[in-house]
Structure 1
Amino acid sequence: MTINGAPARADSWISVVNPATGRVFAQAPDCSAAQLDQAVAAARQAFTTWRKVPLEERQALVRKAGTRLIENAPELSRLFTQEQGRPVGAAEQEIAGAGLWMHAVAQMAPPIHVSEDSAAQLVETRYVPLGVICAISPWNFPVSLAMWKVAPALVAGNTIVLKPSPFTPLCTLRIGQIFAEILPAGVLNVISGGDALGPLMTAHPGFDKISFTGSSATGKRVMESAAKDLKRVTLELGGNDAAIVMPDVDLDEVAEKIFFGAFFNTSQICVATKRLYVHDSIYDDLRDRLVAIAQRTKVGDGSEQGTVLGPIQNERQYRRVSELLEDARNANLTLLHGGEVPNNGGYFIPLTIVDNPPENARVVQEEAFGPILPMLRFTEIDEVIERVNDSEYGLAGAVWSKDTDKALEIARSIETGTVWINQNLMLRPDTAFGGRKNSGLGVENGLDGLLEYMAPQAVYLARG
């Protein structure tokens, strides 16, 4: 761990499991309540000076940190694969991409709004940092989603205590060591621990804001904890994202894009396609293409050559996805599987397409967060939009059509924070990302995301 710019050892440890084998391969520190207090105190002390560092200097340090992350991507990628499961090449892309993301955020600056600038008075609204940020990041994209929090919080002038998921703590702990060579002591503190640490953090009175990425159920508990002392919160939560495929698409062109929009990272993406609504006239042809892609896509250990998709990241999620798959079997749904997966104790589940299940099936209504994709037929566009929006979630969605005007009309009818047309999984550091309904509260990325880490302050200056 890194607390106040220095290494911090723990008295107890948590086990880190390689999901491709199901076996423990490392230990990570289990932060104590006393060490959490130390981290918060260090961040609080550092905030008194960091907030006064000129914006340009803070931006330069975040940019430098991003560069160091890119430089260390090859070293970190194999560790990433061991703890997260994704193939090494894709792991390196995430780490280097997170560094480039930091570069982009480092170019952002909060605006100053001038309401009046006259002989009588100057009235302006500027944005000031909040203080100490509690940042809790998930296991599916452990590096990039952590940097989504770190970069804007630091540019805004805050200090941070960052906790990675107990399932994927190692890369983030190493990044804390790397960044300690760049950032002033106490500005970024990185701790790790088991399931008890998160609630200790969200209830801690020393934080001014909580930024959390994870499940909707946990997000609600975070919000409840934050309400006790009115901490600000940003919650990026789950989604049961739907895609609509119109009859005019070129199936040869879009089939693989649709497939990986659903199955990339073994479907462990909050914005992955999790419900695929396909027009009846092309349903069979697209289904057959997707099954064929699934059968030739290698699922296995991410450290092995040729692996495209890795395991489910942890045993808890593996059991949940397995139970959902078993429920579909018991309901006599038609399951179309991809190729064989390793049977070695790792958390592997075959890529599975569920052929036109009923709308009320659990596999349709619940977010699997694993490689199970329900395909559903439709004929009328108004009816399918209603089905798409009949969800407790509202994170992202997609429309596939050659008629871009019609696709835009459909997209604007979908009740989600993000909608893609003829693409998917595309996110940008300069564009706001947030969810509706049970998919979250607040915004990450873009100028809106930067301002989530700041508070407006109106200043009135009398001149006469």
Structure 2
Amino acid sequence: MPPAPSLTPATAGSHPTNTPHYIAGQWAAGQGDEAIVVHDPSTTRPFAELQGASLTQVDQAVAAARAALPAWRALSGAERSGYLRRFAEQIEQRRGELLALQMRNNGKPEHEASIDIDDAVATFNYYAVLAEQLDAGQDSDVPLAVPGFVAQTRREPVGVVALIVPWNFPLVTSAWKLAPALAAGCTLVLKPSEVTPLIEQAYGQISDAIGLPAGVLNIVIGARQVGAALSSHPGLDKVSFTGSNAVGSQVMHAAAEQCRPLTLELGGKSAIVVFDDCDLDQAVEWIVAGICWNAGQMCSATSRLVVHERISDALLQHLATAFEALKVGDPAQGQVEMGPLISQAQWAKVNDYFALAQTEGLRCLAGAKAVEQPGWFVRPTLYADVPSGSRLWNEEIFGPVLCTQRFSSEQQAIDIANDSRFGLVATVISSDLQRAQRVAAALEVGHVWINSVQAVFVETSWGGTKASGIGRELGPWGLSAYQSVKHVTRCLG
């Protein structure tokens, strides 16, 4: 069997051992037509080249998962829990390597990359606990109003699942799917983003190290052709996708043709609502974190600031100063607070929005420019009093671009925040806890933070309303997403 690929990439210009696909417990060279070049966004230089999977290899991965399903689903929850705990242990043991790779391929500052690793470890440990609890809860009795019958509930794995994950949080988004799906007893085909295809190979290496049965986890790498073939594959029982609305719509169409379930975690244009009783300095800290973490490349980025008119001028002045002072640069060159955008395409997209803002006549208080150094960097950007009809107010930019509007009443703040086709998250900042709770209840989103950074805990759910997706991840809801419910009823007569 070919050796597992090293996560330490080859230098630019060379060709590393091209065995990035993990199928039926074997590492395989790519046989597809797509050449995938991996870049360091802080320098724009390529540092690895992979060959994508062929459609035949996609078929092989699905077939391997199908063959492994009966034995894997037959294991007890406690047995599957042991594998999940070993995943967590192995991720922690590989921390240094994974940290360096995230900083290089994603441009994440070290503190952000470290939190991502902590998140992945916590996710596998959490679902290990839930897996242990599955055995005791199986075949539970259902109270019936009609005498003479007995009914019991069984929760069973959905089956073979395709997991399609994005580039902005590799390792994390895949952990959010892998851990509950494995706990439930599903077998899997994972497709990482072609922009960041290296880090998820760690999951294949870990599978080898812990003796995960062959075919339970398969990894195929590729761009649009591989993703389309996987999402429409007739051998699947479910698809779980995280990414853009444009691609999510295509995945949903494919699922509709197969009449099979899916989970979609899509885009956002989230609001952060700031009332006039806040501490300005603390509010600035939370606002900056909400739009500049991961260079704003988050579906949950709070990119619409809705601020009370009595403090709007002072708050925007504080924000502009904070944006200008933010340290932007290559994480490998020292302590930075915000890294680059992920790719040339994303950098061009954000700069197109800067040009559009000029065309729309928006008032810029900070940023709206690239950084004059190698790499796909932009400055965090602040626009004041952006009209509701502006494309920058309505469209997901996926960069560190914050647009603002003012409000005069609580209901107006709620109306502005809810006036969006998206409904993923929101943040409320106010010293009046009752008011903050009242506003949180009125917001049409899946998750609300009150006086906080975007702290995401594995015990709580993740997902949105409206165009932000279908279903929930994390918490017990994440496990339920990979289970089907069966009832067994018998007559006592």
Q: Which runs of 5+ in 1 are unaligned?
A: none
Deviation digits for residues 88-129 of structure 1 (CA, Å, limit 9, x no counterpart)? 332132123211221012111455552238994421122100
Following superposition, the deviation at residue 173 of structure 1 comes to: 1.5
User: Retained in 2: the 8 A contact 1:7–1:177?
Assistant: no
User: Retained in 1: the 8 A contact 2:306–2:416?
Assistant: no
Name 2:185's counterpart in structure 1. Answer: 157
TM-score, normalization by structure 1: 0.96
Residue 435 (str. 1) matches residue 464 (str. 2): yes
Name 2:231's counterpart in structure 1. Answer: 202
Name 2:292's counterpart in structure 1. Answer: 263
Residue 281 (str. 1) matches residue 301 (str. 2): no
Within 2, Cα distance between the matches of 1:189 and 1:359? 45
Within 1, Cα distance between the matches of 2:426 and 2:312? 19
RMSD of aligned residue pairs (Cα, Å) = 1.7
Q: Percent identity?
A: 38
Q: Go from structure 1 to structure 2 and tell me whether the alpha carbon gap of 1:104 and 1:210 turns closer, same or farther (over 3 Å shift).
A: same
Q: Go from structure 1 to structure 2 and tell me whether the alpha carbon gap of 1:146 and 1:374 turns closer, same or farther (over 3 Å shift).
A: same
Name 2:257's counterpart in structure 1. Answer: 228
Name 1:80's counterpart in structure 2. Answer: 102
Matched to 1:115, the amino acid is V
TM-score, normalization by structure 2: 0.91
Matched to 1:372, the amino acid is V
Matched to 2:457, the amino acid is R
Name 1:458's counterpart in structure 2. Answer: 487
Q: Which runs of 5+ in 2 are unaligned?
A: 1-20
Residue 334 (str. 1) matches residue 363 (str. 2): yes
Secondary structure of the residue aligned to 2:193 is: coil
User: Retained in 1: the 8 A contact 2:77–2:183?
Assistant: yes
Name 1:377's counterpart in structure 2. Answer: 406
Name 2:26's counterpart in structure 1. Answer: 6
Name 1:44's counterpart in structure 2. Answer: 66
Residue correspondences, number: 464
Residue 314 (str. 1) matches residue 343 (str. 2): yes
Residue 272 (str. 1) matches residue 301 (str. 2): yes
Deviation digits for residues 392-443 of structure 1 (CA, Å, limit 9, x no counterpart)? 1011111110111111111111111111111131222121222111000011
Within 1, Cα distance between the matches of 2:285 and 2:213? 46
Secondary structure of the residue aligned to 1:11 is: coil
User: Retained in 2: the 8 A contact 1:311–1:347?
Assistant: yes
Following superposition, the deviation at residue 340 of structure 1 comes to: 8.2
Within 2, Cα distance between the matches of 1:238 and 1:52? 37
| Residue among 153, 157, 175 paired with 2:203 | 175
Following superposition, the deviation at residue 23 of structure 1 comes to: 2.0
Name 2:433's counterpart in structure 1. Answer: 404
| Residue among 57, 72, 91 paired with 2:113 | 91
| Residue among 216, 229, 253 paired with 2:282 | 253
Deviation digits for residues 270-293 of structure 1 (CA, Å, limit 9, x no counterpart)? 112110001011111111211222
Deviation digits for residues 317-353 of structure 1 (CA, Å, limit 9, x no counterpart)? 2221111111001222111225986434421111100
Name 1:66's counterpart in structure 2. Answer: 88
Following superposition, the deviation at residue 301 of structure 1 comes to: 1.1
Residue 192 (str. 1) matches residue 221 (str. 2): yes
Residue 116 (str. 1) matches residue 133 (str. 2): no
Name 2:168's counterpart in structure 1. Answer: 140
Deviation digits for residues 175-213 of structure 1 (CA, Å, limit 9, x no counterpart)? 322223221111111111122111010111111100000
User: Retained in 1: the 8 A contact 2:43–2:375?
Assistant: yes
| Residue among 414, 419, 422 paired with 2:448 | 419
User: Retained in 1: the 8 A contact 2:354–2:369?
Assistant: no
Within 1, Cα distance between the matches of 2:51 and 2:98? 18
Matched to 1:304, the amino acid is Q
Secondary structure of the residue aligned to 1:281 is: coil
Q: Which moved more, 1:154-163 or 1:174-183?
A: 174-183
Matched to 1:299, the amino acid is V
